[in-house]
């Protein structure tokens, strides 16, 4: 289907030439002779692009564009100004009012067609991207909703098994299963509730004891470390201040760090989880004596779907998303993430959160 362009110009000669040129190029056209008519037409029919004259009686082009950008239904339509004005101040005013481009009169038709084609392509690609994101969001919601049911069954079955009694070793495994499944359900519930990270989507920040949090997460990962014959140790600063953050976000971030360390370290290695204050922040770090990350690949850390040359040592799966999730979660709490690589080898992945104020 041909894309539609609205031409707004009060000079019949200009309209006639533009109509001929754009019709020959295959576009569908709408025509308005002043700003009021342009606003009325776009309220009824949304064009894909607007060519807007600056100098018109009544509403000039700047005011017409400003009003178009105030309306939800028309604010995303690209506007290209047509103007005989060539002063820098006028060009700045055009962009400030919401235009994406301008064409200087007298109009060179080859240039006009090129600029129109560029902005229609950008608009088309943006629409396709929005549709893909909406489809992905819908799929993720369906998948998250359907995953919640088997997780609830795991939680109930684990609780029933714990009540029947078990050896201390089996009871420890059941506790780990129960805690991990519970955290998975909380993550899914957060997603289903559209709790998006970011300062505009947060409630009041919580006060989190990162030492308690780290101890709980290490306990959950001890069975996995034992199976892989990896020493998982905890080295906590007992005087550590409370952090100001969402406990769920901190939990998910540290879980990703520890899981990654266990995934990429060979049997016989060690993973140390430490806490310490740094200036006015509270830091958790996960150090290992694994292969580290090659210098050429470090710039890809904390990006989505990063694929590094190091492979999991026990056949585990790796999606390349874990570190990018940590970055998103911690930065939504006004924190920071990073990784250091000591000269002796290994890696230290860390995140810092603001200290909680008050007593």
Select from 107, 122, 137 the last residue of a domain. 107
Largest CA distance in the chain: 92
Q: Is the pLDDT of residue 135 over 80?
A: no
Residue whose pair of structure tokens reads 């990896």 in the numeric block: 230
**Residue 190 domain-assigned (yes or no):** no
Q: How large is the average pLDDT for residues 249-254?
A: 89
CA torsion through residues 124, 130, 134, 140, sign: positive
Q: Is the pLDDT of residue 275 over 80?
A: yes
Q: Which two tokens stand for residue 328?
A: 């998103």
Q: Is the pLDDT of residue 181 over 90?
A: no
pLDDT of residue 16: 86
d(CA 175, CA 256): 19
Say whether both 214 and 350 belong to one domain.
yes
CB neighbour burial string for 199-220, b if at least 16 within 10 angstroms, e if fewer:
eeebeebbebbbbebbeebbeb
Q: Is the separation of the CB atoms in 252 and 284 below 8 Å?
A: no
Q: Which two tokens stand for residue 271?
A: 């993973």
Q: Is the separation of the CB atoms in 163 and 169 below 8 Å?
A: no
d(CA 34, CA 40): 10
Select, from the ranges 21-25, 86-90, 320-324, the one with the highest average predicted confidence (pLDDT).
21-25
**Among residues of the chain, what percentage have pLDDT more than 90?**
46
Q: Is the pLDDT of residue 240 over 80?
A: yes
**Residue 217 domain-assigned (yes or no):** yes
CATH number at residue 99: 3.40.50.2300
Band of residue 187 on the pLDDT scale cut at 50, 70, 90:
low
Select, from the ranges 182-196, 200-214, 218-232, the one with the highest average predicted confidence (pLDDT).
218-232
pLDDT of residue 40: 94
**Residue 234 domain-assigned (yes or no):** yes
User: pLDDT tens, 67-99?
Assistant: 999 999 999 999 999 988 777 787 788 888 999
**Residue 8 domain-assigned (yes or no):** yes
Q: Is the pLDDT of residue 200 over 60?
A: no
d(CA 308, CA 260): 13
**Residue 169 domain-assigned (yes or no):** no
DSSP state of 295: G
* Structural domain harbouring 339: 205-354
User: pLDDT tens, 95-126?
Assistant: 889 999 988 888 888 999 999 999 999 999 98
CATH number at residue 307: 3.30.565.10
**Residue 191 domain-assigned (yes or no):** no
Number of folded domains in the chain? 2
CA torsion through residues 97, 99, 101, 102, sign: negative
Select from 46, 77, 107 the last residue of a domain. 107
Select from 107, 137, 168 the last residue of a domain. 107
d(CA 226, CA 223): 5
pLDDT of residue 70: 93
pLDDT of residue 174: 81
User: pLDDT tens, 28-69?
Assistant: 999 998 999 999 999 999 999 999 998 888 889 999 999 999
């Amino acid at each position: 289907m041909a894309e539609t362009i609205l031409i707004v110009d009060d000079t019949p000669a200009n309209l006639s030439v533009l109509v001929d040129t754009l019709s020959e190029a295959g576009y569908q056209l709408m025509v308005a002779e002043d700003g009021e008519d342009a606003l009325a037409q776009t309220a009824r029919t949304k064009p894909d692009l607007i060519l807007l004259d600056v100098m018109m009686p009544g509403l000039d082009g700047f005011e017409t564009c400003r009003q178009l950008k105030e309306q939800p239904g028309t604010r995303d339509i690209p506007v290209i100004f047509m103007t005989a004005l060539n002063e820098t101040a006028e060009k700045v005013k055009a962009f400030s009012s919401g235009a994406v481009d301008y064409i200087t009169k007298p109009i060179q038709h080859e240039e006009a067609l090129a600029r129109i084609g560029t902005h229609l392509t950008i608009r088309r690609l943006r629409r396709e991207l929005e549709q893909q994101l909406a489809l992905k969001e819908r799929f993720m919601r369906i998948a998250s909703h359907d995953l919640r049911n088997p997780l609830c069954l795991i939680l109930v079955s684990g609780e029933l098994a714990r009540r029947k009694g078990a050896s201390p070793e089996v009871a420890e495994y059941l506790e780990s299963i129960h805690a991990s499944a519970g955290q998975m359900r909380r993550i899914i519930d957060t997603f289903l509730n559209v709790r998006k990270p970011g300062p505009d989507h947060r409630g009041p920040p919580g006060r989190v004891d990162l030492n308690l949090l780290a101890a709980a997460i290490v306990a959950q990962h001890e069975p996995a470390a034992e199976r892989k014959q990896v020493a998982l140790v905890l080295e906590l600063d007992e005087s550590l201040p409370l952090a100001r953050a969402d406990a769920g976000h901190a939990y998910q971030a540290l879980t990703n760090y520890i899981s990654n360390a266990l995934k990429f370290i060979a049997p016989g290695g060690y993973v140390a989880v430490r806490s310490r204050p740094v200036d006015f922040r509270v830091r958790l770090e996960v150090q290992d004596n694994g292969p580290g990350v090659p210098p050429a690949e470090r710039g890809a850390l904390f990006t989505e779907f990063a694929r590094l040359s190091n492979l999991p040592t026990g056949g585990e799966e790796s999606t390349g998303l874990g570190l990018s999730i940590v970055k998103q979660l911690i930065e939504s709490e006004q924190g920071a993430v990073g990784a250091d690589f000591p000269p002796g080898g290994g890696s230290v992945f860390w995140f810092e959160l603001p200290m909680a104020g008050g007593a």
